[in-house]
Amino acid sequence: MRAAVFHGPFDITADNVPDPQIKAPHEVIVKVLAGAVCGSDLWTYRGESSAALESRIGHEFVGEIVAVGTGVEKLKVGDVAIAPFRYSDGECPACKSGWPSSCAHGGFWGWDSDGGQGEYVRVPYAQATLVKLDEAPDAAALPDLLTLADVMSTGMHAATSARVAPGDTAVVVGDGAVGLCAVIAAKLRGAGRIIVFGGKHPDRQALARQFGADEVHSARGPEATNTLKGSTGGIGADVVLECVGSAASFETALTLARPGGRLAYVGLPHGVVIDVAKLFRTNVSVSGGLCPARRYIEPLLPEVLGGGIHPGRVFTTRLPLADIAEAYRQMDKRETIKVLVTP
Ligand SMILES: [Zn+2]
């Protein structure tokens, strides 16, 4: 089969690799129907992660099951399923407490397992990991469903962790796919007013408004703080959803919350250090972290299948796996919001 392989910084190509084989009774093999490139894959692409050379990559996919291990009873060949961005056993204390993202036996796709940017994926702990669809989806539904693997679930984790409540003024920091999905999530939870701080890309700003943002600003740092104070009568936002993960973004995000406000972060943190003394003075609470995506997929499925939300609009480019190098180039240059990878 072919799969994306990380050869070194700015060098990811679709190569011929061995077909996956079931190694343990709890596993299945999935034929990927749709995969994606994530903003977090860019850390690896740019050589800023600890990914080993020649490792696989990609952690978002929807696929059809083509082989099942002897211990798998709840899934069968032909079922279509969504894979959360991390596999988990469903049985350890972390999983049982609702945190499959911290599963003792779990792991990320790619790295030392098959990646989601490939033709097939061997899925460990398949019954606990995969979310099976009741029926095979239309091709048109695939983009929306694919976002549940990561970005829409992660956006919902931001809104849930920040406890967005009806009527709240919510700020979203970041206009990447996760930030845009966080707008949808804040709206679903009843935010009264949604204000986005992102870049200057007109396509991202338009999508933010389409998803429910009332205001979209490209201001950063102190300018963002002043802009928000102007919009909120000097007080700041009830909730802030930090969807970038950089130190500068996090620092700005903290200044946007009102006294007693709630900030949630879901972007992979890079160099972020929290000054607790600042939190002490403002009583701003901070929560969030690595999204337990497996937990959000089932509750979000009816919203997606019923057409209530269309997070799949974040896929502004569609490319075949053979063109994965071009997919990364476009993501790296921010020429597209997110790339959907077809087999
Ligand atoms: Zn577990």
pLDDT digits (tens, 9 = 90+) for 58-114: 999 999 999 999 999 999 999 999 999 999 999 999 999 999 999 999 999 998 799
Which CATH number do you get for residue 66? 3.90.180.10
Residue 268 has a pLDDT of 85
CATH number, residue 159: 3.40.50.720
Task: For residue 149, report the distance from its CA to the centre of ligand 1, in Å.
Answer: 18
Cα(39) to centroid(ligand 1), Å: 26
pLDDT of 97 reads: 97
Q: What distance in angstroms lies between residue 103's CA and the mean position of ligand 1's atoms?
A: 4
- Cα 231 to averaged position of ligand 1 atoms, centre (Å): 44
Q: Domain limits at 242?
A: 152-288
**pLDDT score, position 61:** 98
Domains of the chain: total: 2
20 and 135 share a domain?
Answer: yes
pLDDT for 112 equals 77
Shared domain for 177 and 73, answered yes or no, is no
Return the pLDDT at 273.
Answer: 92
271 and 300 in a common domain: no
Whether residues 258 and 320 share a domain: the answer is: no
- Looking only at the bridges linking them, the beta strands covering 338-342 and 315-320 are parallel
**Statement to judge: residues 317 and 250 lie in one domain:** no
89 CA to centre of ligand 1 in angstroms = 4
> Which residue numbers in the chain have pLDDT < 70?
none
8 A C-beta contact, residue 239 and residue 262: yes
Same domain (yes/no): 144, 170? no
Q: How far is the CA of 93 from the centre of ligand 1 (A)?
A: 7
- Determine the pLDDT at residue 270: 87
Whether 227 and 207 map to the same domain: the answer is: yes
CB 99 within 8 A of CB 84: no
